[in-house]
Structure 1
Amino acid sequence: MELMQRRTAIIVAVALVLIGGPLLIGLLGGFERTAGGEIAVVRNGGFFDNNRIRQVLDPGSGRTWIGMYSTAHKYPAQQRFYTITSQGDGDRSGVDVVTVPSADGVNMGIEGTLYFTLNLDHASIKAFDDKYGTRKFRGADGGSRNAWDGDKGWSAFLDQVVRPVIDNDLRTQVNSFRCAELVSSCALVQNTSAPQPGKPQGGVQAQSNNGNIAKVQNAINTSLATDLEQTLGGKFVTGIHFNLVRVTLPEKVQDAVDRAQAAFAQVSEAQARVATAKAEAAANKARQDGYNKCPTCARIEELKALPQGITVYAPGNGNGPLLPQK
């Protein structure tokens, strides 16, 4: 009898552990809250529940009951930025630039930053989670993560979904300008006609490119909003603004530009020396003409040029001026 009671107690204890443990974990994990810079989409979970969206937790929510074994997909609620730069920054890993060809076939490196905010409307964020929160994206490190899986997951989503749209818009806009219209020094190495006096090599005038860069930036801001909405399948991002920071030339082209600039600097220096010599010769000639017309003036200038302290001066004396005796 005592043995039977002991066995019964053991079975009850095991049952309590097997049933009560998961139940306790589910109860303790059934509460969730969000920080000020994040919004959460809550999905049902558990052994006998579906995986549909249960609710949305707004930024800075208090501790809220979300149900046993439910999961919270947290997304950034503040303005975010995606930076394309050789320095490495923004909501992505690694460093790079977008390389696109200009209208005259020069590959140009584009660096800039896309600013945007996730649409926090509940219907929109639910649709976003249905489309992109239920799949994984491969990051720069080769790992696959959900878009809501921390900074690396968010970065992987941007790299795979948003980045191709940015690349396509940049390629379309930059391809409508010649290299020299975006980088003025590119005019120094253009392969066009023979050099002409007063112009850089190739006969292409260097020009200010600030206005053209502003045109590219404004065009991208207009097209990105439409293209992102079409690509993502909804208006999931708002406040879109692209800031074009830098346009660079390929290394070999930039080296050619540097050499051309150095050559033009040497030419300018030589021309300056020639101009100085011509000016000095003209001044000497004018001075001599004045002395020829005014011999007395020449004597006066000669006296001014004598060293201080001379007591006797005899013009025409082969021995020269007499200096004071020590």
Structure 2
Amino acid sequence: MKEQILIAARQTIETELREATSLPERLDDDFLRACELILACSGKVIVSGIGKSGHIGRKIAATLASTGTPAFYVHPAEALHGDLGMIAAGDVVVLISYSGHAAEFRRMMPLLKALPVSVIAFTGNRASPLGEAADCCINIHVENEACPLGLAPTSSAVNTLIMGDAMAIALMRTRNFSEQDYARTHPAGSLGTKLLCRVQDIMRTEAKVPLVQATATVHDALFELTRTGLGLVAVTVGDRRLAGVFTDGDLRRWLLKGGALSSPVQDAMTFPGFSLSASQLAAEAQALLQERRISAAPVTSDTGQVIGAINAHDIREAGI
């Protein structure tokens, strides 16, 4: 029984891979025309399909939307009961039906043409009503489904998904869709956090910032070190302009050489001290801290005033 399971699984994979190998040859004028229609579209791309084609259509719409092409999925039955109102003149509609004979699409097609919208068909039968009515036809034909009954969409579903991915990525590259663009559509993901989160978004502010004037004593700075637990104190002059930093290491070195706690902290601090900009990406700040082998830094404004502080733990907590 175990061997039968493995044989069936292996045959399924081999069949689907074999059918997929013919797809590069089908990147023809219709594929180019479909991409041009979408690139020129000032509206939306609406993807629709019934049954397994609908499941694949949802994935294609999601991939398009996350890679720079505004798109969403509409169920064909719902479209015939009001959701056609989501489609407007100037949109592009992608209809997926392997046979090309889906009854819902036959009813939808005259209405779509009347809007008018451009229609792209994903079908295994160019000579079908859908294939002939569409403005361009993406060929997803297979010789054999992996299903031994030849009934369940298996190889054809894979071919549809691959051609949908090919179209989405071709459009993405043509639009010069960047990592930053991708991050804006995935702000909750790790990439979005890395590319969008800035120091000002996660830094400590107000009372959480360890801060003393340059005229304060080492004892005052020690109190701030203890109060905030950040590992450093920003030493400022005037209107909070950074003069230097006083760290745990500075304190140890000061005491080892016989320095007094009553001495001015400016005599014991590190000058000028390293600081981060509030507008820097948090990932960049993390790299700078690692490069200098320090765990924390004050954050300054464009005019050099201390407005916050941050350490490596804060950055890790932000998911970077």
TM-score, length-normalised on structure 1?
0.22
Q: What is the TM-score when the length of structure 2 is the normalising length?
A: 0.22
